[in-house]
A and B are shown apart, each in its own frame.
Chain A
Amino acid sequence: MTADTDTDIRGLLDDLYGRFHYDFRHYAMASLRRRLAAAQTRYGADSIAALRSRLKAEPLMLTTLLDFLTVQVSEMFRDPPYFLALRTEVLPLLATYPQLRIWVPGCSAGEEAYSIAVLLREEGLLERSFIYATDINPAALARARAGIFETARMAQFTANHRLSGARTSLSDHYHAAPGGALMDASLRERIMFSDHSLATDSVFSEVQLISCRNVLIYFDRPLQNRALDLFHQALCHRGYLGLGIKETLRFTSQADHFEDVRRDVKLYRRRA
């Protein structure tokens, strides 16, 4: 791979935007390069240029290509200390609102959104809460809406959940179904999974908490700034923002608009 490959990658991203309105032009190049190399192997394309011509000839390939470009590997209650901090430091304050609105951008297959729904139920807030979970990948959104996780993953999810200060057993919130563990309908009906792009769309609602973890790491700085500007607009007065444990506002244009709530778990609060 050379700098020429980067030029070809940019060409492919231009096609994706021009023809399909998927905007990956400001995704972080290091990960894109790796993901597209995996896609090349999958489609038997010997170069990015070949992948590009193939996409031109077979637009239906977009669906599977999107999985290569967007899907990250998540877990329910990934980083339990983060969820413990939400439980002990954020939800007690959010409980003072008559209605809670939460946004999970880049929700992928829904692990994070369902984790928050379980957390809200355990804290007695689910009935008056609503979670907007958004992503650009329709296949991932469909998986998230279905709310089914492979049974083999549940042991890890359960272990994480227990460390998050759980008040119930995770198994109280799902039951066995064909294809795996089906999250309760009462959780699913509090989450709206919908299409939204942090690269091209604008704010759609005011929310009190945004939980966007390990999504911004795939963006370059200008796109990170754009997304964080949306978050700033969407958050209510003194609303909360949670990022991934190794993400930081430090190198972004929004650093001054937020203050630390819990530095160790990257929990921030919108400044007045």
Chain B
Amino acid sequence: MSAIGTLAARRPGRDFDVLIVGGSAGAFVALRSMLPALRHPQLVAIVVLHQAPNGADLAHLFESVAGMPCVTVEDKLPAAPGAVYFAPSGYHLLVERNGTFALSVDAPVNWSRPSIDVSFDSAAEVFGPRLMGVLLTGASDDGARGLRTIAARGGLVIVQAPEDAEVPLMPTAAIRLGTPDGVLTIAQLTDLFGAWSGTAERRA
């Protein structure tokens, strides 16, 4: 795929320094295989997954496998580079222009709270071309419009290849709504994360 070559030429900290990943059904497993490859001290990584109410703390579940510290966001937490930030269950996750996180208990969007669209829109608004958005597997069309906003604000957008997705509805909706910069499998995304992290380690 030619897209991967183009994408591999991009670098966190240079072409973008904020990564936001959204997903629903199947995304937990996908992230479990991707996150260990991601180790980048200049990168703010944000993860928005739908999950059942009263669900377990996601940061806690990823802590043991991730290559970066994992944090469940609390209100007004600064988005400092070098960590993965998870949207807490039952709240929308937004970003303020001063680089701190904000939460809301406004009505669910696309029957979801957190809603991926809400976080994608907010991050696009604040980070613009500094942002890379990734939409994974899911049984909903949440995230598709938000991904389009990221692209419209100059960000880079990647969608999980529908044939690689446990539930292709979410990536398919995103592809239908806009042309992503890349349509990649989880294995390709993991390689990409690994390549970026290798660069970061060599630079360090």
Chain A: residues with CB nearer than 8 A to chain B?
1, 6, 28-31, 33-35, 72-74, 214, 216-218, 220-221, 224, 244-248, 250-252
- Interface SS of chain A: loop
In the bound complex, CA of A246 to CA of B91 (Å): 9
A74: shortest Cβ distance to chain B, in Å?
Answer: 7
B74 touches A247 (CB 8 A): yes
Could you say which residues of chain A place their CB within 8 Å of the CB of B121? 34
Near A by CB (< 8 A), chain B positions 161-176 give none
Taking CB as reference atom, which chain A residue is nearest B125?
Answer: A1
Cα A152 to Cα B178 in complex, Å, equals 38
Q: Which residue of A lies closest to B121 (CB)?
A: A34
- Chain A residues with Cβ below 8 Å from B77 are 251
CB-defined contacts of A245 to chain B, threshold 8 Å: 88
- The CA-CA distance from A221 to B122 in the complex, in Å, is 19
Contact B73 A246, beta carbon cutoff 8 Å: yes
Contact of B105 (CB < 8 Å), options: A30, A214, A251: A214
CB 8 Å contact bits of B116-135 with A (1 = contact, 0 = none): 00100110011000000000
Cβ contacts A to B, 14 pairs, < 8 Å: A28-B102, A30-B94, A31-B92, A34-B94, A35-B106, A214-B105, A217-B91, A217-B103, A217-B105, A218-B104, A244-B105, A246-B74, A251-B77, A252-B76
Contact B76 A251 (CB under 8 A): yes
Does B97 belong to the interface (CB within 8 Å)? yes
Given A1-B125, A73-B107, A246-B91: A30 and B74 interface contact (C-beta under 8 Å): no
Distance between Cα atoms of A38 and B94 in the complex (Å): 16
A59 to B190, CA, bound (A): 55
Say yes or no: B125 contacts A33, CB within 8 Å: yes
Kindly state whether residue B96 has any CB partner on chain A within 8 Å.
yes
B120 to chain A, nearest CB (A): 12
Roughly how many angstroms separate A214 CA and B104 CA in the complex, as a whole number?
A: 8
Contacts A29-B97, A34-B118, A246-B74 given; does A217 touch B104 at CB 8 Å: yes
A246-B104 in contact (CB<8A): no
Minimum distance in angstroms from B86 CB to a CB of chain A: 11
**Which chain A residues lie closer than 8 Å to B118 at the CB level?**
34
A30 touches B73 (CB 8 A): no
